[in-house]
Chain A
């Protein structure tokens, strides 16, 4: 079989050299009644042509690509230049291990160093790392970082954070001695209830974690939030699930944010049914020694040439073990490299242009949709690229079904997340959508009685 270079005669040669007759002898430490169990219930090997056939059959069972989709909510369909796919498929980039032997890993190390730089540029922060698993776990790491650095054990959480992120934060902190309390959001504006925040925050809080643009697509008053948290010596921790917004809105650091975490799948990573994605983190320099994950640093070699290495490893699990800043080892490095290639290709102009188109498309929809009588746009201002639609005359299931008949997947029903948003769906527009696609959606909605 093509993945096994040893020939039968070579196997014999090696066995002879080892002084054994049967390979089984090498496994003699394994309890004999449990080893070499019958393999009958394992399917037979498929040749390459049969393998392709099998997966093409599986692919046919997915019908998503036949539809015009407006699904968002933490995973976004963006345009990926072909150059990104081509370069990331290079075996020299995708098949090495973690760059512990820096002399033969300068490609990976420099790629990640440049990625760290781009994240720092987009967020205005001093330090970033070489990736986390995804937005949700990045949010959890952000919470742990704030609590670790502040040496406090109470965190406030915005209730309009992505519901999956909230669940993940909860899973992580439930086993540690930390308390969490929610800050509600105002249904009218879609934003965090600042009065409640001012009331609940105190000197025992390590920080407040909130999302902007939030789960409902609304942009929060980030600077005001940061001021409120700083007033009580707490950290301002921003989350963003839609990294494209970083190129359009003012950088987190300028809004007083101390730690920013989130999902960078929007930067050239395929939507891939949810993974692998790309968690990112950016923070002010005082957090450096508490940062989780791998970090690449610049240095010199013995000949004075510039080079890159993994650095500040004493924070990590392989040295500090149970005292590490995180247990993360393997991360999403290749996704980070993909993002770097995407950001380099799109560049200053392309990224700004495309991030603007996301907003313009959404705005156009909001303008035209306000002429419709069977839906209501809940938050007509302060959105980036997602809006909440309230469905007036139908229930959500019928509305969605009627649009599916027209080959449209309208959006994510919010009843799964908020009980008082039973009749609403979250609709996302990216640069992928053209005017005719948005017009098709408007027309289709208009035709529903």
Chain B
């Protein structure tokens, strides 16, 4: 059932209640605040019964496509299955303690944090991790600040970060908010950064190169070791955006490739739910000479005891309240413990197998802009088609399949970035390939049909121009 819902405010009726809570034993006489500072009613605030709350959100839920309901091959998002046992564990009452609890009352939580850090160190060969950043972008800005503080501690005031043309928008944005200038460096025809090109862009003002590996084209940056050496010789550092770690986990460790600072996305590689846009978590790992620059607080174990470092002369300071998105970390740790050494490598192996299966199946039908080896995601272009990437994406919706990432990275015309992940069956992938074949066939005989898709979704194509011009950003009584 795909029923569109009225706004909850429209379902409100005066006097309806949805809550149940024991009344106070105290009278209003105890109010000590000046009456003028107290608010009156909250105008138009919801007044619905519990039944209506449940119906409203249950129906809204049914309007969504989700990983739980079907294939979701969004490139660079790693929409893998979110294990349910991890939800049960994250909801244990005992874990939900106040962050300022005295340490001796929360040793379980402190052990979760330190154990998780150990896992990340083993997977990446980085010397230490901070688990405080809330998301990948948050991790990026943290990493950029670490680099800045490290360099300035040596009296070095380099101003530039080099960022490849295929980079995700958060890369330059994060570098900018850390106070850096950005210089874009081009990838070659194979989609990767060449050492020679790097040398052209390198000078004493370059603080670091910010590289995604594998990059947003799904291609391994095979010059990474030489790139790291070249950067280090110049006094610069190598930052690795680990959003695509799903292709490398258990196969190779970024620390072994010369990476100085990197972030991971727990809501990608580590199976925590995307939540419709968050919460995520973006732990940042560093090489040993950068450990003292990590943000505070930093939780560590010495002997049998846990300590929390709240200050550090060299630390970049605090970047988030409390310790990080703790309950997201609990889920990620449960995930790692569930796959263990027996399956950790299978993640990358199956992810890469699935992506290559898609590549070879669709190569005869679509333009493949880069012929390099594909890892966990493959990019096609809509060049030479009589329909656009957007049209194909919207048509997939009618097959119950969420589209791939579209129009990113910008260096590919009409980019279609497809990442199946390892948690998809061959049947599902075959269904996707067949759907693509049908759409491309139909485009030859009836492109108009394709251009007006989708037909079976709860709403059809939405007017983004109207949204941007009218900017109705909240419900108002008069707007009905």
Name which of A79-87, A179-187, A191-199, A201-209 contacts chain B. Answer: A79-87
Given the interface pairs A39-B345, A121-B42, the reply to whether A176 lies near B225 with Cβ below 8 Å is no
* In the complex, chain B residues whose CB is within 8 Å of the CB of A101: 65, 393, 397, 402-403
Within the complex, the shortest CB–CB distance from A248 to chain B, in Å, comes to: 6
Q: Fill in one digit per residue for B71-99: 1 if any A CB lies within 8 Å of its CB, else 0.
A: 01010010111110101110111111111
Is B334 in the interface zone, CB < 8 Å from A?
yes
Are A4 and B278 in contact, CB atoms less than 8 angstroms apart?
no
Are B18 and A347 in contact, CB atoms less than 8 angstroms apart?
yes
Is B21 in the interface zone, CB < 8 Å from A?
yes
Interface range on chain B: under 10, 10 to 19, 20 to 34, or 35 or more? 35 or more
CA gap between A86 and B92 in the complex, in Å:
15
Is B137 in the interface zone, CB < 8 Å from A?
yes
Given the interface pairs A63-B105, A103-B397, the reply to whether A344 lies near B48 with Cβ below 8 Å is yes
Are B134 and A114 in contact, CB atoms less than 8 angstroms apart?
no
Is B50 in the interface zone, CB < 8 Å from A?
yes
Interface range on chain A: under 10, 10 to 19, 20 to 34, or 35 or more? 35 or more
Given the interface pairs A273-B106, A311-B468, the reply to whether A322 lies near B173 with Cβ below 8 Å is yes
Q: For B107, B318, B463, which residue has the most chain A Cβ atoms within 10 angstroms? A: B318
Given the interface pairs A51-B85, A83-B53, A333-B277, the reply to whether A383 lies near B32 with Cβ below 8 Å is yes
Chain A, range 54-94, C-beta contacts under 8 Å to B: 54-56, 58-65, 67, 69, 71, 73-75, 77, 79, 81, 83, 85-87, 89-94
State which of B106, B182, B256, B319 has its C-beta within 8 Å of the C-beta of A137.
B319
* In the complex, chain B residues whose CB is within 8 Å of the CB of A406: none
Is A111 in the interface zone, CB < 8 Å from B?
yes
State which of B8, B225, B354 has its C-beta within 8 Å of the C-beta of A114.
B8
* In the complex, chain A residues whose CB is within 8 Å of the CB of B175: 322
Within the complex, the shortest CB–CB distance from A316 to chain B, in Å, comes to: 8
* In the complex, chain B residues whose CB is within 8 Å of the CB of A63: 104-105
Is A391 in the interface zone, CB < 8 Å from B?
no
Given the interface pairs A92-B61, A108-B277, the reply to whether A360 lies near B393 with Cβ below 8 Å is no
Chain B, range 22-55, C-beta contacts under 8 Å to A: 22-28, 30-34, 36-39, 41-48, 50, 53-54
The 4 closest A-B pairs by CB, nearest first: A274-B322, A45-B340, A334-B275, A91-B68
Given the interface pairs A63-B105, A305-B4, A332-B279, the reply to whether A43 lies near B341 with Cβ below 8 Å is yes
Given the interface pairs A307-B459, A311-B468, the reply to whether A94 lies near B403 with Cβ below 8 Å is no
CA gap between A87 and B53 in the complex, in Å:
9
State which of A31, A295, A303, A334 has its C-beta within 8 Å of the C-beta of B273.
A334
Are B4 and A74 in contact, CB atoms less than 8 angstroms apart?
no
Are A348 and B46 in contact, CB atoms less than 8 angstroms apart?
yes
Inter-chain contact count A-B, CB under 8 Å? 669
Are B135 and A352 in contact, CB atoms less than 8 angstroms apart?
no
Within the complex, the shortest CB–CB distance from B464 to chain A, in Å, comes to: 6
Are A324 and B173 in contact, CB atoms less than 8 angstroms apart?
yes
Within the complex, the shortest CB–CB distance from B137 to chain A, in Å, comes to: 5
Given the interface pairs A348-B45, A363-B26, the reply to whether A277 lies near B321 with Cβ below 8 Å is yes
Are B334 and A65 in contact, CB atoms less than 8 angstroms apart?
no
Are B275 and A363 in contact, CB atoms less than 8 angstroms apart?
no
Name which of B247-255, B379-387, B441-449 contacts chain A. Answer: B247-255
Are A42 and B460 in contact, CB atoms less than 8 angstroms apart?
no
Is B58 in the interface zone, CB < 8 Å from A?
yes
Given the interface pairs A168-B320, A317-B137, the reply to whether A92 lies near B64 with Cβ below 8 Å is yes
Within the complex, the shortest CB–CB distance from B377 to chain A, in Å, comes to: 13
Are B94 and A357 in contact, CB atoms less than 8 angstroms apart?
no
Q: List 4 other contacts, CB 8 Å, given A36-B251, A83-B54, A105-B64.
A: A5-B428, A63-B105, A307-B4, A343-B45
Is A102 in the interface zone, CB < 8 Å from B?
yes
Given the interface pairs A51-B338, A296-B473, the reply to whether A96 lies near B65 with Cβ below 8 Å is yes
Q: For A134, A174, A328, which residue has the most chain B Cβ atoms within 10 angstroms? A: A328
Is A359 in the interface zone, CB < 8 Å from B?
yes
Are B99 and A299 in contact, CB atoms less than 8 angstroms apart?
no
Given the interface pairs A103-B397, A360-B30, the reply to whether A1 lies near B42 with Cβ below 8 Å is no
Within the complex, the shortest CB–CB distance from A175 to chain B, in Å, comes to: 3
CA gap between A46 and B109 in the complex, in Å:
20
* In the complex, chain A residues whose CB is within 8 Å of the CB of B352: 23, 26-27
* In the complex, chain A residues whose CB is within 8 Å of the CB of B357: 14, 17-18
State which of A45, A65, A297 has its C-beta within 8 Å of the C-beta of B473.
A297
Is A444 in the interface zone, CB < 8 Å from B?
no
Is B313 in the interface zone, CB < 8 Å from A?
no
Within the complex, the shortest CB–CB distance from B383 to chain A, in Å, comes to: 22
Within the complex, the shortest CB–CB distance from B15 to chain A, in Å, comes to: 8
Given the interface pairs A51-B334, A52-B85, A62-B95, the reply to whether A330 lies near B277 with Cβ below 8 Å is yes
8 sampled A-B residue pairs with Cβ under 8 A: A71-B101, A103-B460, A128-B473, A300-B462, A349-B19, A360-B28, A363-B31, A366-B32
Is B212 in the interface zone, CB < 8 Å from A?
no
* In the complex, chain A residues whose CB is within 8 Å of the CB of B119: 42
State which of A65, A312, A327 has its C-beta within 8 Å of the C-beta of B174.
A327
Are B459 and A61 in contact, CB atoms less than 8 angstroms apart?
no
Is B257 in the interface zone, CB < 8 Å from A?
yes
Is B344 in the interface zone, CB < 8 Å from A?
yes
Are B137 and A329 in contact, CB atoms less than 8 angstroms apart?
yes
Are B100 and A412 in contact, CB atoms less than 8 angstroms apart?
yes
Is B291 in the interface zone, CB < 8 Å from A?
no
Q: Fill in one digit per residue for B119-144: 1 if any A CB lies within 8 Å of its CB, else 0.
A: 10011000000000011111011000
CA gap between A335 and B278 in the complex, in Å:
8
Are B316 and A328 in contact, CB atoms less than 8 angstroms apart?
no
Is A280 in the interface zone, CB < 8 Å from B?
no
Chain A, range 238-262, C-beta contacts under 8 Å to B: 247-251
Are B97 and A107 in contact, CB atoms less than 8 angstroms apart?
no
CA gap between A159 and B238 in the complex, in Å:
38
Within the complex, the shortest CB–CB distance from B381 to chain A, in Å, comes to: 19
* In the complex, chain B residues whose CB is within 8 Å of the CB of A381: 32-33
Is A151 in the interface zone, CB < 8 Å from B?
no
CA gap between A354 and B23 in the complex, in Å:
9
Within the complex, the shortest CB–CB distance from B442 to chain A, in Å, comes to: 18
Within the complex, the shortest CB–CB distance from B59 to chain A, in Å, comes to: 8
Name which of B194-202, B229-237, B324-332 contacts chain A. Answer: B324-332
Are B42 and A348 in contact, CB atoms less than 8 angstroms apart?
yes
